[in-house]
Amino acid sequence: MIKAVIFDMDGVLIEAKDWHYEALNRALRLFGYEISRYDHLTTFDGLPTKKKLQMLSAVYDLPVALHDFINELKQLYTMEIIFAQCKPRFNHEYALSRLRAEGLRLAVCSNSVRDTIDVMMEKAALKDYLEFTVSNQDVTKPKPDPEMYAVAIQKMGLMPAECLVVEDHENGIRAAKAAGAHILAVRETTDVTYGNIMKRIHEIAQGDLA
Ligand SMILES: [Mg+2]
């Protein structure tokens, strides 16, 4: 039986893909670099900024000495965009409040940094429904490594099979699978509805009975 729902953040609860893309490019452009939309969608999306910068240095000639500064600027620009654009969404507030009312425990595991998660969950009015959030600063390895989901499941004192992970990205799905959790794969934030989540929970329950 499912006792907890663990959400990825970007692309699941927050439509932030473009925000991270814009913020990093704004920082990179100061030094004459840029990630194309194609590379973003096929290679970089969903990875932590540090990892993206390592990849840019390996493939292009971005100096490693600039990483910390670019990373700081990127976080600053991300915050600016969040403050301007991150708003509550009815389908998410409704879904999380109903799930909580039905006794399900809720958490978020995201490859984003702690500050970004805190501000996004606050601005989206979802913070109060969550038991806790796990950021890339709370683990040694980000997704696709299963550590983040394993940490969350352990923190709740549950078995992996009692947890449903909602993910939009291949890296996150791999992480959740490796952690042993059930998965609801979504394409976009609008797919994250109370109805879709309950449908998946019932499917899992049927499977357990069969
Ligand atoms: Mg995602």
46 C-alpha to center of ligand 1: Å? 6
CA of 45 to the centre of ligand 1 (A): 8
Indicate if the pLDDT at residue 210 is higher than 90. Answer: no
How many structural domains comprise the chain? 2
Residues 46 and 10 in one domain: no
pLDDT at 61: 87
Cα–ligand 1 centroid distance for 114 (angstroms): 15
Clarify whether residues 190 and 121 are in a common domain: yes
Q: Residues 145, 185: one domain?
A: yes
Among residues 61, 85, 109, the one where a domain terminates is: 85
Full domain range(s) for residue 65: 17-85
pLDDT at 209 over 80: no
Same domain, 47 and 29: yes
> How far, in Å, from the CA of 205 to the mean position of ligand 1?
25
The CA 14 to ligand 1 mean position distance, Å, reads: 9
Q: What is the 101 CA–ligand 1 centroid distance (Å)?
A: 25
Lowest-confidence range among 16-20, 31-35, 125-129, 185-189? 16-20
Say what the pLDDT of residue 152 is: 98
175 Cα: distance to centroid of ligand 1 (angstroms): 12
- 108, 71: one domain: no
| pLDDT tens track for 109-145 | 999 999 999 999 999 999 999 999 999 999 999 999 9
Provide the whole-model pTM. 0.88
Are 177 and 76 found together in one domain? no
Q: Give the Å distance between the CA of 8 and the centre of ligand 1.
A: 6
The 8 Å CB, 24+ separation contacts for 24-28 are 24/49, 24/52, 24/70, 24/74, 24/77, 26/73, 26/74, 26/77, 27/70, 27/73, 27/74, 27/77, 28/56, 28/62, 28/70
Q: pLDDT tens digit string along 56-97?
A: 999 888 999 999 999 999 999 999 999 999 999 999 999 999
202 CA to centre of ligand 1 in angstroms: 24
Q: How far is the CA of 11 from the centre of ligand 1 (A)?
A: 5
Centre of ligand 1 to C-alpha 17, Å, is 8
Could you tell me the two tokens for 43? 């290679």
Q: Could you tell me if 114 and 188 lie in one domain? A: yes
Choosing from 34, 50, 85, the residue where a domain stops is 85
Q: How much distance in Å is there from the Cα of 189 to the middle of ligand 1?
A: 9
Mean pLDDT across the chain: 95
Give the distance (Å) from ligand 1 centre to CA of residue 154: 21
The CA distances from residue 164 to 170, 180, 181, 199, in Å, are: 16, 10, 6, 12
Indicate if 183 and 135 belong to the same structural domain: yes
Residues 192 and 101 grouped into a single domain:
yes
- Asked if the model's pLDDT at residue 29 lies above 70, the reply is yes
Q: Which of 39, 56, 85 is the last residue of a domain?
A: 85
pLDDT of residue 48: 86
| Residues 115, 100 share a domain | yes
Task: Give yes or no: residues 183 and 106 share one domain.
Answer: yes
Q: CATH number, domain at 116?
A: 3.40.50.1000
CA atoms within 13 A on the CB side of 166: 32
- Residues 113 and 198 occupy one common structural domain: yes
Q: Residue 47 C-alpha to ligand 1 middle, in angstroms?
A: 9
pLDDT at 41 over 90: no
Structure confidence at residue 180 as a pLDDT band (50, 70, 90): very high
Q: How high is the pLDDT of residue 111?
A: 93
Cα-to-centroid distance, 143 and ligand 1 (Å): 10
